Amino acid sequence: MSDVLRADDVHKSYRRGREQVHALRGVSIEVHPGEVVALLGRSGSGKTTLLNCLLGWETPDRGLVHVPGAETPASASWATVAVVPQRFGLLEELSLADNVAMPARLAGLDDPRGTALGVLETLRLGHLADRPPEEVSLGEQQRTAIARALVVSPAFLVADEPTGRLDEDLSVHVLATLREVCAAAGTGVLIASHDPVVVASADRVVRLSDGLVVDD
């Protein structure tokens, strides 16, 4: 189906000194519109590499990535695939509101700031809207990155360990918000994590071990 975000038999290895690291050894995964998929696996199992291939930030050595409506993964717009990077990627010189408004501005939406404030409010960050990232906690920065991903109601959302900096209560809240907002917009969500809270809120779990998908 053409509206599915898909990796098909993706292989990727890295050279580390004289050693070859096989980060992905033939991984296939599908994310359908409106579903929440948890990508689980220990540190080093290949989760980030797989997300990077889906985003077009890395090129697979072998295999295919299909992004609906885009010629190549790297050319997909934020409204097609939005991302919550593991290290947030917020711009330090902008307020939280301006960080979140950025994709809405680039997409030419009517009221970028108003839309951004609404999403920040949903994620319980409204009171911090005018602060720069360095003046809020890491958990708040992480939620700001989630707000920035949601602001244009993307077709797909890819998140790398989005609850890694949050305590359990906040994780539950953030995941519930993600589910709600994404269900309303029909967004397909892929969450890389090793957090049990994520499993509980996923429709489907895909486990990675040593670069391969394994059965439960």
Ligand X SMILES: Nc1ncnc2c1ncn2[C@@H]1O[C@H](COP(=O)(O)OP(=O)(O)O)[C@@H](O)[C@H]1O
**Smallest distance from the beta carbon of 78 to ligand X, in angstroms?**
22
3-state secondary structure of 91: coil
Cα angle 136, 125, 179; round to 5: 120
Beta bridge partners of 30: 6
Give the H or E element holding residue 6. Answer: strand 5-16
23 binds, among ligand X, Mg ion, none (CB under 5 to 8 A by kind): ligand X
Q: Rounded CA gap, 84 and 142, in Å?
A: 8
**Smallest distance from the beta carbon of 187 to ligand X, in angstroms?**
22
18 binds, among ligand X, Mg ion, none (CB under 5 to 8 A by kind): none
6 binds, among Mg ion, ligand X, none (CB under 5 to 8 A by kind): none
14 binds, among ligand X, Mg ion, none (CB under 5 to 8 A by kind): ligand X
Q: What is the DSSP string of 174-207?
A: HHHHHHHHHHHHT-EEEEEE--HHHHHT-SEEEE
Site string for ligand X, 7-36 (x = CB under 6 A): -------x-x----x-x-------------
187 binds, among ligand X, Mg ion, none (CB under 5 to 8 A by kind): none
Q: What is the DSSP letter of 49?
A: H
**Is residue 44 involved in binding ligand X (CB under 6 A)?**
yes
CB 117 within 8 A of CB 144: no
Identity of the residue, 16 or 18, whose beta carbon is nearer to ligand X in the bound complex: 16
What are the tokens at 205? 């779990």
41 binds, among ligand X, Mg ion, none (CB under 5 to 8 A by kind): ligand X
The alpha carbon of residue 26 and the mean position of all alpha carbons in its chain are separated, in whole angstroms, by 21
**Is residue 48 involved in binding ligand X (CB under 6 A)?**
yes
Q: Supply the angle between the helices 138-150 and 96-106 in degrees, to the nearest 10.
A: 20
**Is residue 127 involved in binding ligand X (CB under 6 A)?**
no
Identity of the residue, 103 or 211, whose beta carbon is nearer to ligand X in the bound complex: 211
What are the tokens at 198? 């994520």
What burial letters (b/e) apply to 54-69, b meaning 16+ CB within 10 Å?
bbbebebeebebbbbe
Stretch that binds ligand X, among 40-48, 71-79, 104-112, 123-131 (CB under 6 A): 40-48
Identity of the residue, 98 or 160, whose beta carbon is nearer to ligand X in the bound complex: 160
**Is residue 48 involved in binding Mg ion (CB under 5 A)?**
yes
**Is residue 103 involved in binding ligand X (CB under 6 A)?**
no
* Chain positions contacting Mg ion, by CB under 5 A: 47-48
* Chain positions contacting ligand X, by CB under 6 A: 14, 16, 21, 23, 41, 43-49
